Structure 1
Amino acid sequence: MKMFSVAHKTVFVVDHCPYMAESSRQQVECDVLTKSRAQGVIPLAPVSKSLWTCAVECSMEYCRILYDIYPKDKLVNYIVSDSEFHILNSWRREDQSTHELMSALAAVGPPNPREDPECCSILHGLVAAVESLCKITELQHERRTALMDTAERVANRGRIICLTNAKSDTHVRMLEDCIQETILDQNKLAAGSDRLMAIQQCELVLVHIYPQGEDTLVSDRPKKEISPLLTSEVHSVRAGRHLATKLNILVQQHFDLTSTTITNIPMKPTLNVCEQEEQHANTSANYDVELLHHRDAHLEFFKSGDLHMAGTSTRENGLKETVTLKWCTPRTNTIELYYCTGAYRISPTDVNSRPSSCLTNFLLNGRSVLLEQPRKSGSKVISHMLSSHGGEIFLHVLNSNRSTLEDPPSISEGCGGRVTDYRITDFGEFMRENRLTPVSESTHDPSGKLPAERAKAQLERHTRYWPMIISQTTIFNMQAVVPLANLIVKETLTEEDVLTCQKTVYNLVDMERKNDPLPISTVGSRGKGPKRDEQYRIMWNELETLVKTHAGATDRHQRVLDCIIACRSKPPEEEERKKRGRKREEREDRTEKNGNKETDDKSWQESERLKGLLDKEDQESEVIKDSPDSPEPLNKKPRLTTEEVQPPERAKGPVSLLTMWTNRITAANSRKHQEFVGRASSVNNKFELYQHLKDENGMDVHENGKASR
């Protein structure tokens, strides 16, 4: 029920009763050239517009802005009410233009002040407005037809804007009750008709117009819910410029618009913004032009809360806001493109003013203007651009995160990380092959598809398998695979195409037989990369993946896949079996090698650990023995040297754990008893006799007690 909003249908009901012929009492000067007027010439008297003229001009301005920004999906139905109602246009698209409405209003003419007021009423037009909202528009009919059995999902909402001169608040309530009853009656009729739609929601905007200098008889009232089907709001406005401002504010509220003021627009011959500037022929002057557009053009400002930085100002007693952007030197190079995040149609607020006319003519001649945010400090930030396309002017939203005056970022700084091997050349070729061109929807196609649908289908086929990085693909780096890769993405294949694809496969088989090298990437791998048979296995797998994504299209596509499967040098089962056997052998060799190495390491580590313990004990015993304050215990046996405890084989390499443990136990047991005095004083297991003879006689003592001098 949300397919169509209230803004889809707008019905203007303008009062054409005799009291609308009353003057608005706002003086309009016709003779403004007071200095150049000759003497004796009587100046022209000022004139004032009627309430009817003010209502018509403001409503037409409302419609002009609406048609400028929403030329297709926002519709207006204009009704004039006096003694009866006059429908000036319909919901058809060809009737949606200010030219049609102005021509119809000219035929209606101004209200007759001599007509009987009792015979005229605004109720005729309001009843006709409700009936008009129940009629189906072309867009609603298209949606209902497309949904078929769920046509009730298409909502029917609308808005009624009534411009009249009400008598009192009681008169306003009477009008609201009349509209509520009419909606209920029309919904009952629409329930049994295929040409009408029931109204789910209706908004009534009643604008009470009264002359300047008089007191209003109707009070303002904000939006109020009268019933689940009707909401109403009342605005009491003085005729003239106040009414124009009110309608300008309403069109912004009703269609989610906002205002932007372009400042510092130069009017000088060098820029040709205004070709003929009589007042400033020899001097340059800067002007401001206010534009209306969709509020999404300033969405980034609203999100970040930087409206004050963009120069937002409030005008018209706080009822109107505008974002100020500064004019930049226009770009003469139309080929230069900018990164735009959105484009929105614009409509000048004062379309008849000279600055607005000069600006629109300047843009329609093919020029583009950059707009910057006015800042007191910091670098210049260009946030928007004005440019025309197809005779319509758009406000482009530029990406202001990175200034357009800087160099573009490197592709390696993108969201994919520092990747430098993107298939940039191939992607350019891909864009050329899928380029869109204007074509009529009525173009004949045997399949019955629209051009847009055919383009989407082609894009889908081309992107089913398309690696983005060079190192992630093999076949797209091989010139021999190009014929097959270009043909397999086609919607249908001919017999000649199938033969070409098969020939490509046979060439790959011949390359594998000759053991030709393949362009396999070695990025991220150590050494020279995979072996030759592994390279071809990767290539065949990728080629089969590419063809499988298109094999279901036609039988000829399947024939290409069958050819690839039949021509592979090794069946997939045998290849996987060999691969598993190869991995098992490598794993067993690695395990055996690691086991032997671990045993040797453990033996060496244990021997070194025991040696360290023995050395530590030797050091401790020597320290205790050498210390004069710590006498040696009686049962303490002198420690044997390392050569005595450990076998001579140790010097040749590591010894077994059993030998190390036996030596340790023997050394420990030898300390548990009192050592023999002779053995304790022996040298190299030999006891020296006559120990004091040398000291007394100064003689050297040798074996068998013999002495020599």
Structure 2
Amino acid sequence: MLFPDREALPSQGFHQICKMKMFSVAHKTVFVVDHCPYMAESSRQQVECDVLTKSRAQGVIPLAPVSKSLWTCAVECSMEYCRILYDVYPKDKLVNYIVSDSEFHILNSWRREDQSTHELMSALAAVGPPNPREDPECCSILHGLVAAVESLCKITELQHEKRIALMDTADRVANRGRIICLTNAKSDTHVRMLEDCIQETIIEQNKLAAGSDRLMAIQQCELVLVHIYPQGEDTLVSDRPKKEISPLLTSEVHSVRAGRHLATKLNILVQQHFDLASTTITNIPMKPTLNVCEQEEQHANTSANYDVELLHHRDAHLEFFKSGDLHMAGTSTRENGLKETVTLKWCTPRTNSIELHYCTGAYRISPTDVNSRPSSCLTNFLLNGRSVLLEQPRKSGSKVISHMLSSHGGEIFLHVLNSNRSTLEDPPSISEGCGGRVTDYRITDFGEFMRENRLTPVSESSHDPSGKLPAERAKAQLERHTRYWPMIISQTTIFNMQAVVPLANLIVKETLTDEDVLTCQKTVYNLVDMERKNDPLPISTVGSRGKGPKRDEQYRIMWNELETLVKTHAGATDRHQRVLDCIIACRSKPPEEEDRKKRGRKREEREDRTEKNGSKETDDKSWQDSERLKGLMDKDEQESEVIKDSPDSPEPLNKKPRLTSEEIQPPERTKGPVSLLTMWSNRITAVNSRKHQEFFGRASSVNSKFELYQHLKDENGMDVHENGKATR
């Protein structure tokens, strides 16, 4: 097994190797919250305190609504950010909280015991709200930003452990972090001034850290500046996406209204910063099914379904992303339109808690709205030792259970269940195919492919003049052989043709000789000759009706696949390109060739119709001819009956006595089938013979002479001479 290089490794595997050397930006997060007097201004989002309007006694004055200050909104939203972070990453993601007014106040350190919302809330309670009577000139957010840069230079416990483990290469331990600043900026110019101040501070601190063992230089810093302004006012600061200020600093600006808009923005930022995803659990029965909420005891006869949104690491949806079935899992966009949530349906929990499920991953979860009653009921239900299976909502098909919620050691995890074949089971036979459906794998060709790419022990010193090691040459050869290699017989045509074998074996070579190019060109010419002769191709008819595609369509498929194979190697050398040019030149046919193809296509269609209806036409031909002749005879009989005045009336002069069917039928009728032409000729002769009275002299002449006007003298008393003149 060759050790893979960085390009060949998946991103996840490469980061696992580099985890011992560097830390991501998400390792350190510094919150800088503005504590200046203008932060005491009202957010102008009213909060109703008196919600019991129906049960209020008469004469009681309702409580007036209140509104939170900008400071309160900033603290609540930042604490929610920290809560989600601590729920999902309780150890390796750290937060340092700084308050800035006339000076900076560091509320906690990078130590693990200080990383909790309880510690931060206690410290914030000691700080108190901003003093609106304080001199604004003495207060500035710059004090907190300078302290934030200094805090990023401090070494955390995890960084210290890695530096000790890499004593000789301690400089490989990177130091990166993020600063989130919540303030009320004056203008875009004020924002640029803050960015310049941070940039200068980073340069100064890196100089100090270069000569100190207790500090680390900053390799990368991300500044996220959130401008907060009251509702109903116009913002003085414009939004700006992430921008690189210098190789050490990147900055982005968000202008957000205070209140629920600020909470939504920080919820989105925490997902972006820590690679989180959202899952919404739907159809959660609250009461009486679960029996977890005391509030539902009053409504025991009713039951309602609720939805709870959970945040977790995005790897819990990795199978959806890989398979492309994210839309089948009920993906929907939330109101903010920037983040999506995957909807999973609640399944009735099983009572057997000992039952084990095959899981491929377990990820900590954090409710989005932790104080809501549905979230509280769900978390209490899970912390009591119950497990909940989650299924993908589908419009049709069988139920697919993909996830499970369960608690371990007082923490709730979202488990990813394997919905495919388990790796713990016996592997399927290759003759069965994947899932028992695909059975026409190229097993013989794959065995030949393995023999051609076997690795054998070889000395490192034995390498070709190009300077490549044997392992590199082996990987390069494997890459060339697998650029185009269909796995299923029904998905390829050229690899099922013996005539294409010489070209397929030569085109994968790293270099071609002139003899190789000539062999490939001969192969192409042979294919052209096969197409000219209209030879059949081994086209698979699996999944198609009838005989499959027409002959010209078969060759079109073959040429397309051959061109695809050669194109994958055409850029290697000029000789590879010559093979491709030969194929392209042979595919372009002259107009007379296209006409010949059209004629051949019509001939094939006629042959297909003949093969399909041949037996039926043979059986019905004689019956159709007989019926047609019988109809003609009946028609003639009806005409003769119409002409007659009575049964005793003589035949008219211009009507010959009707011929019988025996007279019409030729003598060959008794010997075998009669052709339609013979029957039609006999019928025409019979019809023409009845159109006039037969010339009497044709049958009564003597010595081919017949006397004209025999009865004229007797009837009129005149003599008739030969010149036709009559005399008395």
Judge which range, 42-51 or 303-312, deviates more.
303-312
> How far did 1:334 drift?
1.4
Bigger mean CA offset, 507-516 vs 136-145: 507-516
Give distance in 2, aligned partners of 1:281 and 1:101: 40
Q: Which moved more, 1:375-384 or 1:411-420?
A: 411-420
The separation in 2 between residues aligned to 1:246 and 1:259, in whole angstroms, is 15
Contact in 2 for aligned 1:689/1:705 (Cα 8 Å):
no
User: Shift of the alpha carbon at 1:565?
Assistant: 70
Cα separation, 1, equivalents of 2:467 and 2:408: 31
CA distance in 1, matches of 2:485, 2:323: 38
Shift of 1:249: 0.2
- Give 1:34 shift: 0.7
Question: Is the alpha carbon distance of 1:143 and 1:530 closer, same or farther for their aligned partners in structure 2, counting shifts above 3 Å?
Answer: farther
Aligned positions of 1:165-204 closer than 5 A: 165-204=184-223
Give the C-alpha shift of residue 624 in structure 1.
74
Does the Cα contact within 8 Å between 1:607 and 1:660 map onto a contact in 2?
no
Q: How do 1:502-581 residues align onto structure 2 when only pairs under 5 Å count?
A: none
Residue 390 (structure 1) shift: 0.3
CA shift, 1:276, in A, is 3.1
Q: Identify if the C-alpha distance between structure 1 residues 694 and 654 changes in structure 2 by more than 3 Å, giving closer, same or farther.
A: farther
Distance 2:457 2:297 in 1: 44
- Alpha-carbon distance in structure 1 between the residues aligned to 2:413 and 2:505: 39
Query: 1:519 Cα deviation (Å)?
Result: 51
Query: Deviation string for 1:77-115 (max 9, x for gaps)?
Result: 000000000000000000000000000000000000000
TM-score by length of 1: 0.58
SS of the counterpart of 2:99? strand
Which shifted more, 129-138 or 462-471?
A: 462-471
Equivalent pair of 1:381/1:403 in contact (CA under 8 Å): no
Using the TM superposition, name which of 70-79 and 398-407 deviates more.
Answer: 398-407
Q: Does the 8 Å contact 1:136/1:195 carry over to 2? A: yes
Q: Judging changes above 3 Å, is the alpha-carbon distance between structure 1 residues 79 and 628 closer, same or farther for their aligned structure 2 residues? A: same
Unaligned stretches of 5+ in structure 1?
none
- SS of the residue aligned with 1:279? helix
Once the two structures are superposed, residues 639-686 of structure 1 have per-residue CA deviations (whole angstroms, 9 ceiling, x without a partner) of: 999999999999999999999999999999999999999999999999
* 1:257-306: CA deviation from partner (whole Å, max 9, x where unpaired): 01000000001223224343166432000000000000000011112221
Judge conservation of contact 1:474–1:539 (CA < 8 Å) in 2. Answer: yes
Distance 2:593 2:726 in 1: 93
Q: Is the 8 A contact 1:509 1:569 kept in 2?
A: no
1:318: Cα distance to partner? Answer: 1.1
Out of 345-354 and 511-520, give the one that drifted further. Answer: 511-520
- Contact 2:428/2:434, CA 8 A, preserved across alignment: no
CA shift in 2, pair 1:356/1:518, >3 Å? same
**What is the alpha-carbon distance in structure 2 between the residues aligned to residue 708 and residue 28 of structure 1?**
144
SS of equivalent to 1:540: helix
SS where residue 224 of structure 2 aligns? strand
Distance 1:215 1:289 in 2: 34
Are residue 155 (structure 1) and residue 183 (structure 2) matched? no
Against the structure 1 CA distance between its residues 35 and 519, is the aligned structure 2 distance closer, same or farther, given a 3 Å change threshold?
closer
2:152 matches 1:133: yes
Alpha carbons of structure 1 residues 480 and 188: separation in structure 2 relative to 1, 3 Å: same
Distance 1:565 1:336, change over 3 A: farther
**CA separation of 1:592 and 1:352: change in aligned 2, threshold 3 A:** closer
CA RMSD of aligned residues (A): 15.4
Q: Any residues of structure 2 matched to 1:24-423 within 5 Å, and which?
A: 24-277=43-296, 280-402=299-421
- Measure, in 2, the Cα distance between the counterparts of 1:315 and 1:295: 17
C-alpha displacement at 1:586, in angstroms?
A: 66
Q: 1:691 to 1:136 in 2, by over 3 A?
A: farther
Give me the whole-angstrom Cα distance separating, in 1, the residues matched to 2:294 and 2:209. 57
Give secondary structure in 1 for the equivalent of 2:656: coil
Counterpart in 2 of 1:428? 447
Note if contact 1:269-1:275 (Cα within 8 Å) is conserved in structure 2: no
Aligned equivalents of 1:703, 1:516: Cα separation in 2: 80
Name the stretch that deviates more: 170-179 or 435-444: 435-444
Q: CA deviation at 1:349?
A: 0.2
- Secondary structure class of the residue paired with 1:225: strand
Structure 2 residue matching 1:276: 3-state secondary structure: helix
Counterparts in 2 of 1:433 and 1:100: CA distance versus 1, 3 Å: farther
**Cα offsets for 1:525-568 (capped at 9, x unmatched):** 99999999999999999999999999999999999999999999
What CA distance in whole angstroms lies between the structure 1 residues aligned with 2:537 and 2:607? Answer: 31
Q: Which moved more, 1:55-64 or 1:567-576?
A: 567-576
Distance (Å, rounded) in 2 between the aligned partners of 1:217 and 1:650: 108
Secondary structure, counterpart of 1:232 in structure 2: strand
**1:692–1:589 distance in 2 versus 1, CA, 3 Å:** same
1:411-459 per-residue CA deviation (whole Å, 9 max, x = no partner) reads: 9999999999999999999999999999999999999999999999999
- 61-70 vs 627-636, greater mean Cα deviation: 627-636
Give the direction of change, closer, same or farther, for the CA distance of 1:108–1:625 in structure 2 (3 Å limit). Answer: closer
Residues 75 and 450 of structure 1: is their aligned pair in 2 closer, same or farther, counting only changes over 3 Å? farther
Q: Which stretch shows the higher mean deviation, 517-526 or 633-642?
A: 633-642
| Cα distance in 2, alignment partners of residues 193 and 286 from structure 1 | 59
Range with greater deviation from structure 2 (247-256 or 694-703): 694-703
CA 1:260–1:643 in structure 2 vs 1: closer, same or farther (change >3 Å)? closer
Q: 1:16 to 1:490 in 2, by over 3 A?
A: farther
Q: Is the 8 A contact 2:653 2:692 kept in 1?
A: no
Distance 1:88 1:301, change over 3 A: same
Deviation at 1:125, TM superposition (A): 0.1
CA distance in 1, matches of 2:697, 2:533: 88
1:238 offset after TM fit, Å? Answer: 0.2
SS class of match (1:413): coil
Q: Once the two structures are superposed, what CA deviation does each residue of 1:39-81 show, in whole Å capped at 9, x if it has no partner?
A: 1111110000000000000000000000000000000000000
Which moved further from structure 2: 330-339 or 666-675?
666-675
Is the 8 Å Cα contact of residues 21 and 162 (structure 2) preserved in structure 1?
no
* CA separation of 1:379 and 1:189: change in aligned 2, threshold 3 A: same
| Greater than 3 Å deviation, 4+ residue runs | 278-281, 402-709
Q: Secondary structure at the match of 1:91?
A: coil
For the structure 1 residues 608 and 297, does the alpha-carbon distance in structure 2 shift closer, same or farther, using more than 3 Å as the test?
same
Could you tell which deviates more after superposition, 306-315 or 471-480?
471-480
Distance 1:530 1:684, change over 3 A: farther
Distance 1:133 1:432 in 2: 56
> What is the rounded CA distance, in whole Å, between the counterparts of 2:178 and 2:322 in structure 1?
29
Asked if structure 2 preserves the Cα contact closer than 8 Å seen for 1:338 and 1:404, the reply is: no
Q: Report if aligned partners of 2:288, 2:302 keep a CA contact under 8 Å in 1.
A: no
> Which consecutive unaligned segments of at least 5 residues does structure 2 have?
1-19
Q: Write out per-residue CA displacement over residues 23-50 of structure 1, whole angstroms, 9 at most, x where no aligned residue.
A: 0000000111111111111111000000
How far apart, in 1, do the equivalents of 2:254 and 2:571 lie?
65
Between the aligned partners of 2:353 and 2:456, the Cα distance in structure 1 is 20
CA 1:44 to 1:673, structure 2 compared with 1: closer, same or farther past 3 Å? Answer: closer
Listed one character per residue, the Cα deviations across residues 203-237 of structure 1 (whole Å, up to 9, x for unaligned) are: 00000000000000000000000000000000000
Distance change >3 Å, CA 608–CA 132, structure 1 → 2: same
CA pair 443-256 structure 1, distance change in 2 beyond 3 A: farther
Deviates more, 1:266-275 or 1:37-46: 266-275
Aligned to 1:703, the other structure's residue is in SS state coil
The structure-2 alpha-carbon separation of the partners of 1:448 and 1:701, relative to structure 1 and needing over 3 Å to count, comes to same
1:587 counterpart residue number: 606
How many residue pairs align between the two structures?
Answer: 709
What secondary structure is seen at the aligned counterpart in 2 of 1:490? coil
Q: Does 1:654 align with 2:695?
A: no
Flag the 1:45–1:685 CA change in 2: closer, same or farther, 3 A: closer
Question: In 1, are the aligned partners of 2:539 and 2:554 still within 8 Å (CA)?
Answer: yes
Answer yes or no: is the 8 Å Cα contact 1:421–1:470 preserved in 2: yes
Could you report, residue by residue, the CA deviation over 1:331-388 in whole angstroms, capped at 9, with x for unpaired residues?
A: 2111111110000000000000000000000000000000000000000000000000
Contact kept, 8 Å, 1:342 with 1:396, in 2: the verdict is yes
3-state SS in 2 of match to 1:149: coil
